[in-house]
A = this chain, B = another copy of it.
Amino acid sequence: MSCRQYAVQVFNGPTARLLISAPDRPGLVAAVAGFLAEHGASIVEADQHTDHEEAVFFQRIEFLLDGCDLSRDALPGALRQVTDPLGMHVVMRYSDEIRRIGILASRQTHCLYDLLSRSAEGELPADIAFVASNHPDCAEAAERFSIPFHHLPVTPQTKDAQEAAVTALAEDAGVELLVLARYMQILSTDFVEHFASQVINIHHSFLPAFVGARPYHQAYERGVKVIGVTAHYATADLDQGPIIEQAVAPVTHRDGPDDLIRMGRDLETVVLARAVRLHLTDRVLVHGRKTVVFT
């Protein structure tokens, strides 16, 4: 498995990725760029953003490890010599790390099949460690792709225990991201805080329109001319998490609730996959209720 080529490794050799946030001040760019130049690191991609209202600086830098005169072991410590004095918070990841994710689903399988197919094709920059569900319906899909399936039913009385089981599953498998592929259970505050910015949900409406249940029916009742879906990090406030990606499609008076559900299906699969990919290629920074997404 370790020799698998993910579609995202497009550069000549492995890269390191820095995700930086810091109180804004002059010299931040120069400090990191100077450090990398000094150590012979070639930047292959860089992007930055300043939130001028809150005076916060964000940056993503990806550079080739080949040519850099620091080892993977030495790199973090050396970098901190530069970034700590400037109050910079830095996350460093390597493009050749094997990432592992877990998928939670309920009865519907379209997002699940999409993720399984992408994984089978090497399109998903991660291994799927397991599929878990509160219903047995998704077992067949997981089996078709030889991914372990766990049936973890839930009732109001067993919610705590079920979430504990999911947590154990995720931690045993060493996953760094849980993907809610139309998982129709409300997660407890404890759970989402335990996995802060590590749970991506697909909500089947263009948030903040139509929060809550049956959003396609709500959209039909309101007579909107555009429907949408939203991928976001799960937070304690339902449907309020930082939005990673949204997409929309035009609809007309001809489209009944079933049509909206069917059309939404294609939006959901694409938007969820896109959000998962953005997360796994280290392109998303959470900033309060919002995200900075370096595409």
A188 to B11 Cα, complex, angstroms: 40
Number of interface residues of A (CB under 8 A): 78
Chain B residue nearest in CB terms to A108:
B121
Q: Given the complex, which residues of B lie within 8 Å of A264, measured CB to CB?
A: none
Q: Given the complex, which residues of B lie within 8 Å of A243, measured CB to CB?
A: 222-225
Shortest A41–chain B CB gap in Å is 7
Q: Given the complex, which residues of B lie within 8 Å of A295, measured CB to CB?
A: 252, 254
Q: For the complex, would chain A's binding face be called helix, strand, loop or mixed by DSSP majority?
A: mixed
CB–CB A40/B26 < 8 A: yes
Contact of A45 among B50, B53, B110, B207 (CB under 8 A): B50
Chain B residue nearest in CB terms to A273:
B266
A123 to B111 Cα, complex, angstroms: 13
Q: Given the complex, which residues of B lie within 8 Å of A47, measured CB to CB?
A: 47-48
Q: Given the complex, which residues of B lie within 8 Å of A50, measured CB to CB?
A: 43-45
**What 0/1 readout, one digit per residue, does chain A (244-285) give for beta carbons within 8 Å of chain B?**
111110101110101000100110001001100000000000
Q: Given the complex, which residues of B lie within 8 Å of A287, measured CB to CB?
A: 253
CB–CB B109/A223 < 8 A: no
**What 0/1 readout, one digit per residue, does chain A (214-252) give for beta carbons within 8 Å of chain B?**
000000011111101000000000000011111110101
**What 0/1 readout, one digit per residue, does chain A (46-65) give for beta carbons within 8 Å of chain B?**
11111011000000000000
A244 to B253 Cα, complex, angstroms: 10
CB–CB A37/B41 < 8 A: no
Contact of A226 among B42, B43, B140, B246 (CB under 8 A): B246
A70 interfacial by beta-carbon distance below 8 Å: no
Contact (A52, B256) CB under 8 Å given A109-B121, A270-B270: yes
Chain B residue nearest in CB terms to A42:
B26
19 further A-B pairs in the complex, CB-CB below 8 A; given A30-B33, A117-B117, A207-B224: A7-B262, A27-B37, A29-B33, A30-B34, A44-B52, A45-B50, A109-B121, A123-B262, A123-B265, A206-B206, A207-B222, A208-B209, A208-B210, A225-B244, A252-B295, A253-B287, A254-B295, A266-B270, A266-B273
Q: What is A's interface to B at a CB cutoff of 8 Å?
A: 7, 10-11, 26-27, 29-31, 33-34, 36-38, 40-50, 52-53, 67, 109-110, 113-114, 117-118, 120-121, 123, 140-141, 144-145, 206-210, 221-226, 228, 242-248, 250, 252-254, 256, 258, 262, 265-266, 270, 273-274, 287, 289-293, 295
